Structure 1
Amino acid sequence: MAKLTAIVCVQNQETILDACLKKLSFCDEVVVVADRCTDRSQEIARRHGAVVIDGIFPLESQRKLAGVEAASSQWILEVEPDDLIDAAVAWEIRAAIQMRPVGDWYDLPIDNYVGETLVREGWAGALSARREARLFKRGLKAWEPRRLNAPYVLAGAPGGSLKGAIRRVVGRDVGGLMERLHRLTGLAAEDLADAGRAKGLVSSLLAAAATFIAAYVVRRGFREGRLGFLVAGLSAMFPVLSQMRAAEVVQARKAAVAAEETRAARPRNVVGLGR
């Protein structure tokens, strides 16, 4: 019988972790990677019987790899702390890996909710995805070193897409969606600063306009009413805010280096020995 390990990476997300882990009882094992958590995330994970990996993992790729290395199963299910795996999807996942799998990895659709409202259309940029390769055999997925939305490569044969969708609560309400935008742009800013890709305001505004059109028109966000407009607007704000915050990160790093150089250049007081 094929074994399945769910991997959940958290960063001080105790408010949503309990609901996520309750939905993972169909897995043979759950591994929670706690990155610099100072809340009750580890306690909640252990209460659910999860294997807890506690440490410092600045990059998303580091967290994912730590989870895979700790897993003891052949199959891995990647789960975000704001994901909920309902019973019908859980059954389909188990069936996919037990009944003569046709591939080595599978895509899972994602249904994005704001509170209790399903927002199907209009997702673009980094706020959330509509589909991701979340179910795969151990050792076949590798992530690039990034803090946010780390690109990945998959080896082996694709098995297609499952029908059931992960239920992702991207925000408890509009305020929660704004909090998500703030958190994600902070991570994106660090990535941009690391790569030296901070751009000017004009380039950011052009990217914002293109993202809004993609979200609201091409991906049919207009069908979702006011929430569709909000999602398109926040998606458009993402590149602008990320670039502005990246500039702040670069300046802060330069200031820190300058302060360290000043401190190192100061003459040290030498206390002589008196006669």
Structure 2
Amino acid sequence: MTAISAIVTAGDRDELAECLSFLSFADEIVVVTSQTRDRTPEVARRFGAYLLQGTWAREGERRNAAIEACTGPWVLEIDSHERVTAELAAELRYLTAISPFTSHELPVDTFVGRHLIRHGWGGAYGEDAYPGLFRKGAKRWGLERSQPSLTLDPNRGPRLQNPVERHAYRNLSGLLHRLDHNTTLRAADLREAGGLGRRRSAVCRSAAEFWQCYVRRKGWREGGFGLMIATCAGLDPLLSHLKAELEDE
């Protein structure tokens, strides 16, 4: 049977333990973390995972290091707040045994607390799918601080049928925390690039992002949750610009 290496980017240790409990189907588990003072090593050892610890300045560097640490021909990349259901695990085992492609997208069911939100995701706040299954060497992360870019081999296969469950936000406050964190990173990227552009352009991008999430991606169907997601996605370009602009003054 074709081997699958599962990469888990560690966060909260309780989330990590639950995430790892769903990965018994994988032939190898690599837990990557920048934290050294919590119980992540203990949790990783309990599930027989290889622990990759280090200090990486950027998210892409950390994820690329984890990919390099894998020994299997296929890599499954998830975060500790994601869960691989039994149905998805079976599909992953079957697909990696027969697929002639170099990558496949995983559909995503994202929860805010106990609420499954299917519509309106966009930008750094959520997506309906991502290239989480790939052959080693077919995917590489960029070095941007916020939303690092991806380089993928063009031989991409069809999207899987069964979704990964993403429990990224315990409540609406989690969205606000993501907004603050992401815009701080994006502001640093803008300053490093050396060209902030005009504030008016940032306002236009913000309006466009809100429209994309709330109207085109049907965030309105999710009620207040959809409005909140669209508002955060909409504020992202403008707030990033303002943080970069004010830091330069």
Q: Distance in 2 between matches of 1:200 and 1:43?
A: 49
Instruction: Identify if the C-alpha distance between structure 1 residues 9 and 187 changes in structure 2 by more than 3 Å, giving closer, same or farther.
Output: farther
Identity across matched positions, percent: 35
Q: Which amino acid aligns with 2:116?
A: L
Alignment of 1:239-250 (within 5 A): 239-247=237-245, 250=248
Alignment of 1:45-194 (within 5 A): 45-98=44-97, 100-155=98-153, 157-194=155-192
Instruction: Identify if the C-alpha distance between structure 1 residues 249 and 43 changes in structure 2 by more than 3 Å, giving closer, same or farther.
Output: farther
Q: Distance in 2 between matches of 1:83 and 1:196?
A: 36
Q: Distance in 1 between matches of 2:37 and 2:197?
A: 34
Q: Distance in 2 between matches of 1:126 and 1:159?
A: 24
Q: Distance in 2 between matches of 1:187 and 1:15?
A: 26
User: Cα distance, 1:45 vs. partner?
Assistant: 2.2
Q: Secondary structure at the match of 2:124?
A: coil
Q: Which has the larger radius of gyration?
A: 1
- Greater RCO, CA 8 A, separation 6+: 2
Q: Distance in 2 between matches of 1:187 and 1:86?
A: 32
User: Cα distance, 1:139 vs. partner?
Assistant: 1.0
User: Cα distance, 1:222 vs. partner?
Assistant: 0.8
User: Cα distance, 1:39 vs. partner?
Assistant: 3.1
Q: Distance in 2 between matches of 1:79 and 1:247?
A: 34
Q: Distance in 2 between matches of 1:160 and 1:124?
A: 21
Q: Distance in 1 between matches of 2:6 and 2:127?
A: 19
Q: Deviations over 1:16-42 (max 9, x none)?
A: 222222222211111111124543333
User: 1:195 aligns to what?
Assistant: 193
Q: Secondary structure at the match of 2:118?
A: coil
Instruction: Identify if the C-alpha distance between structure 1 residues 158 and 118 changes in structure 2 by more than 3 Å, giving closer, same or farther.
Output: same
User: Cα distance, 1:197 vs. partner?
Assistant: 3.8
Given that residues 216 and 232 in structure 1 are in contact (C-alpha distance below 8 angstroms), is that contact kept between their aligned partners in structure 2? yes
User: Cα distance, 1:175 vs. partner?
Assistant: 1.4
Q: Which amino acid aligns with 2:114?
A: E
TM-score (norm 1): 0.84
User: 1:229 aligns to what?
Assistant: 227
Q: Deviations over 1:118-151 (max 9, x none)?
A: 1111112221111111101111112221223221
Q: Secondary structure at the match of 1:79?
A: strand
Q: Secondary structure at the match of 1:5?
A: strand
TM-score (norm 2): 0.92
Matched pairs, number: 249
Q: Distance in 1 between matches of 2:8 and 2:247?
A: 28
Q: Which amino acid aligns with 1:88?
A: E
Given that residues 121 and 224 in structure 1 are in contact (C-alpha distance below 8 angstroms), is that contact kept between their aligned partners in structure 2? yes
User: 1:260 aligns to what?
Assistant: none
Q: Secondary structure at the match of 2:125?
A: coil
User: Cα distance, 1:241 vs. partner?
Assistant: 2.1
Q: Distance in 2 between matches of 1:77 and 1:220?
A: 29
Unaligned runs of 5+ in 1: 252-275
Q: Secondary structure at the match of 1:94?
A: helix
Q: Distance in 1 between matches of 2:100 and 2:48?
A: 31
Unaligned runs of 5+ in 2: none
Instruction: Identify if the C-alpha distance between structure 1 residues 194 and 49 changes in structure 2 by more than 3 Å, giving closer, same or farther.
Output: farther
Q: Which amino acid aligns with 1:129?
A: E
User: Cα distance, 1:14 vs. partner?
Assistant: 2.7
Q: Secondary structure at the match of 2:140?
A: strand
